[in-house]
Copies of this chain bind each other. A is one copy, B any other.
Amino acid sequence: MRGLHADTGYLLYRLGLRSGQLFNAFLQESGLRLRHYAVLRFLATTEGSLQRELSARLGYDPSAIVGLVDDLEKLGFAERRPAPDDRRSRIVVLTENGRAFLRDTDEAGRRVTNELLGPLDPAGREALHALLLRIAEDGLS
């Protein structure tokens, strides 16, 4: 009989949970949650994105994007702009406040990752990241 942690998939599941919890705890003081942060980080790479695009790239349901962008707009971190070529679409862009927030929290985010990856040396972290990326590319954005 295989042990509890003999399965890589199960390990991933459990560690993913813990990772999400750590991130959410760190974001709590900002009034945001992990999902908001993911949207912000994605917006920072795109110079404006359709909500449909956010949904596809982040893997969140379109209906989830609505509320997330709502919250970010309320905080002044992002805003919806009409798409010039398609009036169905909204283009979500990062505001200057949003950019500042990302700058301010960047270091704290790193601390969280450090805590999570505690027992790993730099080489181990590098290796882990590379392996996860290879899995993620197969299905995730």
**A135, B119: Cβ atoms closer than 8 Å:** yes
**A135, B15: Cβ atoms closer than 8 Å:** yes
**A9, B38: Cβ atoms closer than 8 Å:** no
Of chain B, the residue at the smallest CB distance from A15 is B12
Interface of A is mostly: helix
Question: Does A19 interact with chain B (Cβ within 8 Å)?
Answer: yes
User: Which residues of the partner chain B approach A74 to less than 8 Å between Cβ atoms?
Assistant: none
Question: Does A7 interact with chain B (Cβ within 8 Å)?
Answer: yes
**B41, A2: Cβ atoms closer than 8 Å:** yes
Question: Does A88 interact with chain B (Cβ within 8 Å)?
Answer: no
Question: Does A86 interact with chain B (Cβ within 8 Å)?
Answer: no
Distance to closest chain B CB from A21 (angstroms): 9
**Complex: A62 Cα to B20 Cα, angstroms:** 21
**A8, B132: Cβ atoms closer than 8 Å:** yes
Question: Does A102 interact with chain B (Cβ within 8 Å)?
Answer: yes
19 A-B pairs whose Cβ atoms sit less than 8 Å apart in the complex: A2-B41, A4-B38, A4-B42, A4-B58, A7-B109, A8-B128, A8-B129, A9-B22, A11-B136, A13-B16, A13-B34, A14-B16, A14-B136, A15-B135, A120-B134, A124-B134, A128-B128, A128-B131, A131-B131
